[in-house]
Amino acid sequence: MKRALLVSFVFLLLSARGFSQQNLKLWYDKPADNWNEALPIGNGRLGAMVFGQPAKEQLQLNEETIWAGEPGNNVPKNVYPQIEEIRKLLFAGKNKEAQELSNQIFPRQAPDNLNYGMPYQTAGSLWFEFKGHDQYTDYYRDLNIGNALTSVSYKVGNISYKREVFTSIPDNAIFIKLSASKKGSLSFSIKASSPQVKSNFKAVGNKLYFEGTSGSVDNKIGKVKYVGIAQCTLNGGKLSTSAEQLEVSNADEVIIRVAIATNFKSYRDISANAMEKAEDILQRASVISYDLAKQKHVQAYQNYYNRVQLNLGKSAQSAKTTDQRIKEFATHHDPELLALYFQFGRYLLISSSQPGTQPANLQGIWNDKLSPPWDSKYTVNINTEMNYWPAEITNLSELHQPLFSMLQDLAETGKESAREMYRARGWNMHHNTDLWRITGVVDGGFYGMWPMGGAWLTQHLWQHYLYTGNKDFLNDYYPILKGAALFYLDVLQEEPTHKWLVVAPSMSPENSYEPGVGISAGTTMDNQLVFDVFNNLIDAARVLKVDANFADSVSNALKRLPPMQIGKYGQLQEWLQDKDKPNDHHRHISHLYGLYPSGQISPFKQPELTKAAENTLISRGDKSTGWSMGWKVNWWARLLDGNRAYKLIKDQLSPAPTETKGQSGGTYPNLLDAHPPFQIDGNFGCTSGIAEMLVQSYDGDIFILPALPDELANGSVSGLKTRGGFEVAMSWENGELKTLKVKSTLGGNCRLRLTANLNLQGAVNLHPAQGENKNPFFKVNKIKSPLKSEEAEIIANTYKATKLLDFETVAGKEYIFNVK
């Protein structure tokens, strides 16, 4: 019996793999007309957008350290007395005056002696011009996310032309192969261009150099020097050069290798030699054959990518081009597009965030401008965090590392803002940072007076520990957690009414309770963030057996944080006072941080609070910016409403508006998320949301299929991770679990939550769970009972009955179950 089970399980996994591999392509029958149709490739450090135009191919290029400006923070001097003044005004109920003073000390535009962060900038483009290729037939281009290769093919006359491009992870270069069905038919020129003010181009031998210096913005001079080199190797034919271009005539096949490097060493050191670095990379890449480089790249990519398989079923839609499928997704059942979209999020993380690189910014690494929207920086009041939501649950844990490295920098630079602005120990940052790790206020008092960026980002450290159990990691990063806790210990103020400890001044990101007034004391999100910062510190100190006294003082402060509150409309209150507006459709719903990504609100432990969160979510409406809808998918998953989560995915996976600005997101033809304009967070948010619909592990257990929508009644998934280092594979039919495999990497008790009518059969002692989960990775922090307005009417939801089952696991073992 067991054997039969195993065989059927293996078959299932194999078929899932075979199945999904056929459908891992974005494909089109015409070239990209604009950037939002071009296809992104990247290795974490280098990015390219491939347009696929037959007569004039464009590769728009990025290198992740080409940012405007130079080292240096943006912390204003001598603002502490005014911060104190703002506090007093807030506690006296003079909020408008507090906002005015905040706007005055932190003006909307950067003052002359400061900056509001630097923009991430493009490295320019390479152009391949093929005379006579304007008329073509049999056009096809794709991006295969199963192996991270993009290709273009078409015919001119009876000759077939093919291009293949990839950005190698191991060899750190872009490889391009141009071929044709008939020998001697490749004739074209290669040029480079750049919008940078300081740039130059020269062709020497078989190399085209494109160099430049990044731009100057606000009080910073552009000092990032970059050197790009495209090296052309011919099979047959002839290569010639003119001043600024390479000319290929009658070649059989051409390989082009592109290296780009900068003088960047770290956020405070730009003394590297860009030319030497670029030549060195190219030299190494040029001794590897194209085929070997391709093989190495695919292997390195698949090492990450292949860990998760998702099969949601087939439909005839897959015969259509990707842009067409996006147009029809809301009306035509297309589960394969959903699986592709999920995997595309993983593809983007693998391609924009590799160990040792910069973290993925607002556009990952893909940007064709000098002044991209919001500078393509790191906005940390939601966007940067969202980029990393898929990292653990979709089994890409190592790719979280660039965010952790950035935190190491910020924990240094953020000491200055903590000290100068708040006279506090530890470190902090506000709602933006950049390559130079600024930590001061950006965009003025209304948007930027939010000293909570570090509180949110450090959650990623603790969550990484909960997923991996890596104590060395925790030990290394403990000082950063401690620095965040120290900051809030010093900054918390006693508010006059309840004597709770609150952060002041701050705000509920970007929202206002009166026109133009958002500045606050003790917003719900701040309270939730500090709750998590303090609990993480206490738990980390306990795991590492350090700082018992310090943990005690943190624990004392923790007890004095405000509880969550249910306001008069039955909503989760956003501010300390019940000032929420019932018709507020603001994109930020920051106080639902407690529901997701944090785990402070659970349908099973706090049904009323959960209902209040749901009321808030409903009143905010569905349609919003891309990232807001991505967040909503995760919230509806946590609210155990798979159908509503799926509805939000449909809103997101519909054609992006043609407007380049606005509040109603969607998806561009290249499957990238529209804020609009393009912003990558929505892709990552939806990817993690889809995973949260299938498995959740924040509430003391592993909830199997918590939010499966009716439209995805059959499917299978493997490789999803949970806290406690478990890896889950499962299949379901008619909306019910069929098979389940749990792999334990850390051992310990495994507590499963599943629908009550299911009985699992497996070769372990599976018994009804009792008491709290004794596996420490599943500890649930007790929140205070919420306060409830007398006017609030709350009728908690009834959820499908579930049961909890425990079994003991051994590290390295797999546990296979079938449903009886």
Q: Which residues are at the interface with ligand FUC (CB under 6 A)?
A: 362, 374, 379, 383, 510, 587-588, 625, 627, 675, 679
Backbone angles phi, psi at 259, to 5 degrees: -120, 145
Least distance in angstroms from the C-beta of 282 to ligand FUC: 35
- Three-state SS annotation for 505-562: CEECCCCCCECCECEECCCHHHHHHHHHHHHHHHHHHHHHCCCHHHHHHHHHHHHCCC
Nearer Cβ to ligand FUC (424/441): 441
Nearer Cβ to ligand FUC (586/638): 586
Least distance in angstroms from the C-beta of 434 to ligand FUC: 13
Nearer Cβ to ligand FUC (188/575): 575
Least distance in angstroms from the C-beta of 377 to ligand FUC: 8
Structure tokens at 261: 């490097």
State the DSSP H helix or E strand holding residue 454, giving kind and residue range, or none if neither: helix 453-468
Cα within 13 Å of Cα(767), Cβ side: 7
Least distance in angstroms from the C-beta of 812 to ligand FUC: 42
Nearer Cβ to ligand FUC (401/679): 679
Cα within 13 Å of Cα(606), Cβ side: 28
Nearer Cβ to ligand FUC (547/681): 681
Least distance in angstroms from the C-beta of 504 to ligand FUC: 21
DSSP structure string for 85-102? HHHHHHHTT-HHHHHHHH
Nearer Cβ to ligand FUC (28/374): 374
Structure tokens at 720: 């999803």
Nearer Cβ to ligand FUC (43/381): 381
> CA–CA separation, 722 vs 695, rounded Å?
8
Nearer Cβ to ligand FUC (167/625): 625
Least distance in angstroms from the C-beta of 51 to ligand FUC: 26
Q: At what angle do helices 401-422 and 471-491 cross, to 10 degrees?
A: 20
> CA–CA separation, 192 vs 60, rounded Å?
10
Least distance in angstroms from the C-beta of 690 to ligand FUC: 21
Nearer Cβ to ligand FUC (297/587): 587
Least distance in angstroms from the C-beta of 688 to ligand FUC: 17
Q: What is the CA radius of gyration of the chain?
A: 27
> CA–CA separation, 495 vs 548, rounded Å?
28
Least distance in angstroms from the C-beta of 658 to ligand FUC: 19
Nearer Cβ to ligand FUC (298/629): 629
Least distance in angstroms from the C-beta of 98 to ligand FUC: 21
Nearer Cβ to ligand FUC (320/587): 587
Nearer Cβ to ligand FUC (460/738): 460
Structure tokens at 336: 């394969």
Nearer Cβ to ligand FUC (426/665): 665
Least distance in angstroms from the C-beta of 71 to ligand FUC: 23
Q: Which of 109, 102, 64, 75 is nearest to 86 (CA)?
A: 102
Least distance in angstroms from the C-beta of 410 to ligand FUC: 18
Least distance in angstroms from the C-beta of 585 to ligand FUC: 13
Least distance in angstroms from the C-beta of 453 to ligand FUC: 12
DSSP structure string for 305-368? HTT-EEE----GGGGS-HHHHHHHTTTS--HHHHHHHHHHHHHHHHHH--TTSPPPBTTBT---
Least distance in angstroms from the C-beta of 448 to ligand FUC: 10
Residue type, 353: S
> CA–CA separation, 276 vs 261, rounded Å?
9
> CA–CA separation, 132 vs 21, rounded Å?
36
Query: Cβ distance 753 to 804 under 8 Å?
Result: yes
Least distance in angstroms from the C-beta of 662 to ligand FUC: 10
Nearer Cβ to ligand FUC (460/588): 588
Backbone angles phi, psi at 26, to 5 degrees: -90, 125
DSSP structure string for 3-49? HHHHHHHHHHHHHHHHHHHHT-EEEESS--SSGGGSEEEE-SSEEEE
Q: Which of 51, 41, 112 is nearest to 76 (CA)?
A: 112
First and final C-alpha spacing in the chain: 12
Distances (CA, A) of 107 to 76, 226, 420, 745: 11, 33, 18, 51
State the DSSP H helix or E strand holding residue 761, giving kind and residue range, or none if neither: strand 760-762
Detail the DSSP E strand segments found in 236-325. 238-242, 245-251, 253-262, 309-311
Q: In what order do the strands lie in the sheet with 39-42?
A: 39-42, 46-50, 56-63, 124-129, 186-193, 245-251, 238-242
Nearer Cβ to ligand FUC (569/627): 627
Query: Cβ distance 336 to 314 under 8 Å?
Result: yes
Least distance in angstroms from the C-beta of 116 to ligand FUC: 12
Number of H helices, E strands in the chain: 19, 37
> CA–CA separation, 64 vs 264, rounded Å?
10
Nearer Cβ to ligand FUC (301/447): 447
* All residues at 6 or more sequence positions from 90 whose CB lies less than 8 Å from its CB, including other chains: 98, 504, 505, 519, 520, 521
Nearer Cβ to ligand FUC (20/383): 383
Query: Cβ distance 756 to 812 under 8 Å?
Result: no
Least distance in angstroms from the C-beta of 613 to ligand FUC: 20
Q: At what angle do helices 471-491 and 453-468 cross, to 10 degrees?
A: 150
Nearer Cβ to ligand FUC (505/685): 685
